[in-house]
Amino acid sequence: MLIDTHAHIYQEYYVDKSLVINNALKNNVKLIINNGVDYKTNKEVLENLNEYVYGAIGIHPENVLEYQEEDLKFIEENLGNPHIVAIGEIGLDYHYGKENREKQIILFEKQLELAQKYHMPVIVHSRDATLDTINSLKKYHVKGIIHSFSGSLETAQIYLKMGFLLGVNGVVTFKNAHLKDVLKELPLTSLVLETDSPYLTPEPFRGKTNEPANVYYVAKFLSAYLNIPLEQLEEVTSANALELFDRIRSDML
């Protein structure tokens, strides 16, 4: 079984969300973690939970200027939902500049505090912000996934030491990805698979809208590249995800 640990299955991207789930099931993708990024999408994530689709709710750093305090309250109020398995997508993104840096850190740490308080994993977005991400994470007792990991081996090892897993998606199938060299040095027990749908579509479908079914192509690529049988790669990465998301585990019993 495959798990897509990071997707954004919203109405604005997919006309027929049940088709997206059926396509996933056809590729043996049995679990999807749908990530919210703001109040509106968090609400949508909560309205679309089912036996295959679990949810993470959070405020993405790109929404730092628009979010309201009550949006964080809304997150806190819904963490008791047994199908909400993490706080995400949260983090820091300095790609388009650092002028909101302080505000981003405040927003990120408010959500890390919630994660610590309610013993929830976090799904972390970190772009051009490695040092600050590590500094914030170190202040809290939290575990989770560094989504779309693309850093150095040294950075990977710091995250692993802190108890985080690294999310691998279609980026690994793109040419010139130095990421491949880093992944080769890491134990398989440190990786989980994801798509970041509708973005980052893996080869051979690059350019099209991504969907959770395509996590299969990420797995297939990694299996060939790392020279590990596909079945083993699926088994280990899914077990890694299930070990982190205890709510899914207890739901499956």
- 38 near Ni ion (CB under 5 A): no
User: Contact at 8 Å (CB) between 245 and 4?
Assistant: no
| β-strand partners of 57 | 87
Q: How far is CA 48 from CA 53, 89, 167, 218, in A?
A: 7, 17, 23, 25
- Shortest approach of Ni ion to residue 148 CB, angstroms? 7
Q: For residues 2 and 88, which CB has a smaller minimum distance to Ni ion in the complex?
A: 88
- Shortest approach of Ni ion to residue 226 CB, angstroms? 24
Question: Candidates 9-17, 41-49, 101-109, 189-197 — which segment interacts with Ni ion by CB under 5 A?
Answer: 189-197
Residue of the chain from 4, 71, 196, 211 that contacts Ni ion (CB under 5 A)? 196
Question: Candidates 9-17, 63-71, 159-167, 190-198 — which segment interacts with Ni ion by CB under 5 A?
Answer: 190-198
- Starting at the edge strand found earlier in the chain, the sheet holding 144-146 runs 2-7, 29-35, 53-57, 84-93, 122-127, 144-146, 165-168, 191-193
Q: For residues 153 and 177, which CB has a smaller minimum distance to Ni ion in the complex?
A: 177
Site string for Ni ion, 89-108 (x = CB under 5 A): x-------------------
Distance CA 180, CA 172 (A): 6
How many CB atoms lie under 10 A from the CB of residue 188?
16
Q: For residues 120 and 145, which CB has a smaller minimum distance to Ni ion in the complex?
A: 145
DSSP three-state, residue 163:
coil
Question: Candidates 74-82, 167-175, 194-202, 226-234 — which segment interacts with Ni ion by CB under 5 A?
Answer: 194-202
Site string for Ni ion, 70-89 (x = CB under 5 A): -------------------x
Preceding omega of 89 cis (within 30 degrees of 0): yes
Binding site for Ni ion (CB under 5 A): 89, 196
